[in-house]
Amino acid sequence: MDLSLLSRKSDVEWWIEPHGRMRVPGIVFGTESLVKEMDEKVYEQVTNVATLRGIVRASYAMPDAHWGYGFSIGGVAAFDADQGGVISAGGVGFDISCGVRLLSTGLTRELVEPLKKRLADELARSVPAGVGRGGRLHLDGPEMDAMLAGGARWAVEQGYGMAADLERIEEHGRMSGAKPGEVSEHAKTRQRDQMGTLGSGNHYLEVQHVAKVFDPAAASAFALREGDVVVSIHCGSRGLGHQIGTEFLKRMVLAAPGYGIDVPDRELACAPIDSPEGEAYLGAMRAATNCALANRQIITHLVRRAFDSVVPRSQLTLLYDVSHNTCKVESHQMDGRTQRLFVHRKGATRAFGPGHPDLPPALSAIGQPVLIGGTMGTASYVLVGAGGSEARSFGSSCHGAGRSMSRHQALRQWNGRQVIEELASRGILIRSPSARGVAEEAPGAYKDVTAVVDAADRAGLSRKVARLEPLVCIKG
Amino acid sequence: MRAAWEHFPHGADVGIRGMGPTKEAAFEQAALALTGAVTDPAAVRPEVAVQVACEAPAADVLLVDWLNALVYEMATRRLVFGAFTVAIDGGRLHATAWGETIDQVRHEPAVEIKGATYTALRVEERDDGSWLAQCVVDV
Q: Is A124 on the interface with B (CB under 8 A)?
A: no
Q: Do B12 and A69 touch (CB under 8 A)?
A: no
Q: Do B112 and A476 touch (CB under 8 A)?
A: yes
Write out pLDDT tens, residues A176-234: 999 999 999 999 999 999 999 999 888 999 999 999 999 999 999 999 999 999 999 99
- pLDDT (average), residues B46-61: 96
- Give the Cα separation of A143 and A187 in Å (integer): 14
H/E stretch holding A244:
helix A238-255
* Closest A-chain CA to B79: A132
User: Which one, of A418, A433, A423, lies nearest residue A471 by Cα?
Assistant: A423
- pLDDT (average), residues A249-257: 93
Percent over 70 (pLDDT), chain A: 100
Q: How far is B116 from chain A (nearest CA, A)?
A: 8
Alpha helix stretches (DSSP H) within A311-388 = 361-364
Geometric angle at alpha carbon A306, from A305 and A308, rounded to 5° = 65
Residue A132 has pLDDT above 90, yes or no: no
Give the pLDDT score at B9: 86
DSSP assignment, residue A386? P
- Give the Cα separation of A269 and B119 in Å (integer): 12
Write out pLDDT tens, residues A361-418: 999 999 999 999 988 889 999 999 999 999 999 999 999 988 888 888 899 999 999 9
Domain annotation covers residue A412: no
Task: Tell me the three state secondary structure of residue A139.
Answer: coil
Residue B89 has pLDDT above 90, yes or no: yes
Where does the pLDDT of residue A461 fall: very low under 50, low under 70, confident under 90, or very high at 90 and above? Answer: very high
Strand B92-101 versus strand B48-55 pairing type: antiparallel
Give the pLDDT score at B137: 95
Residues near A200 by beta carbon (within 8 Å), at least 6 away in sequence: A129, A130, A131, A434, A437, A475, A476, B109, B110, B111, B112, B139
- pLDDT (average), residues A302-331: 97
b/e map A227-244, b = 16+ CB within 10 Å = ebbbbbbbbbbbbbbbbb
Give the pLDDT score at A311: 97
CA torsion angle B110 B115 B117 B120 (round to 10): 20
Domain annotation covers residue A30: yes
- Give the Cα separation of A126 and A299 in Å (integer): 9
Domain annotation covers residue A362: yes
CATH of the domain at A386: 3.90.1860.10
Q: Do B109 and A200 touch (CB under 8 A)?
A: yes
Give the pLDDT score at A201: 87
Domains in chain B, ordered, with CATH? Answer: 4-138 (3.55.10.10)
Cβ-Cβ contacts under 8 Å, B102 against chain A: 131-132
Q: Which domain holds residue A227?
A: 3-404+446-475
Q: How far is A101 from chain B (nearest CA, A)?
A: 21
Selected residue with higher pLDDT from A166 and A476: A166
Give the pLDDT score at A149: 98
User: Which one, of A272, A263, A332, lies nearest residue A58 by Cα?
Assistant: A332
Give the pLDDT score at A225: 98
User: Which one, of B3, B74, B62, lies nearest residue B34 by Cα?
Assistant: B74
Domain annotation covers residue A431: no
Domain annotation covers residue A459: yes
Q: Do A199 and B7 touch (CB under 8 A)?
A: no
Residue B2 has pLDDT above 90, yes or no: no
In Å, how far from its chain's centre is CA A245? 16
* Closest B-chain CA to A73: B12
Q: Is A325 on the interface with B (CB under 8 A)?
A: no
Domain annotation covers residue A363: yes
Give the pLDDT score at B1: 75
Residue B11 has pLDDT above 80, yes or no: no
Give the pLDDT score at A277: 97
Strand B14-20 versus strand B131-138 pairing type: antiparallel
Contact A301, A194 (CB under 8 A): no
Contact A73, A346 (CB under 8 A): yes
* Closest A-chain CA to B101: A132
H/E stretch holding A473:
strand A462-475
Chains A, B: CB contacts within 8 A come to 120
Domain annotation covers residue A409: no
Give the pLDDT score at A403: 84
Strand-pairing partners, residue A329, are A342
Where does the pLDDT of residue A421 fall: very low under 50, low under 70, confident under 90, or very high at 90 and above? Answer: very high
In this predicted structure, which of A144-148, A254-258, A261-265, B78-82 has the lowest mean pLDDT? A261-265
Q: How many CB atoms lie within 10 A of CB A47?
A: 20
- pLDDT (average), residues B66-76: 97
Q: Choose the closest CB to A130 out of B68, B71, B109.
A: B109
Domain annotation covers residue A335: yes
Q: Is A476 on the interface with B (CB under 8 A)?
A: yes
- Give the Cα separation of A358 and A168 in Å (integer): 11
Please say if A399 is a catalytic residue: yes
DSSP assignment, residue A337? E
How many domains does chain A divide into?
A: 1
Residues near A357 by beta carbon (within 8 Å), at least 6 away in sequence: none
Alpha helix stretches (DSSP H) within A274-406 = 276-310, 361-364, 389-393
Write out pLDDT tens, residues A54-85: 999 999 999 999 988 899 999 999 999 999 99
- pLDDT (average), residues A9-32: 98
Give the pLDDT score at A416: 95
Cβ-Cβ contacts under 8 Å, B119 against chain A: 69, 267
Q: Choose the closest CB to B112 out of A69, A200, A267.
A: A200
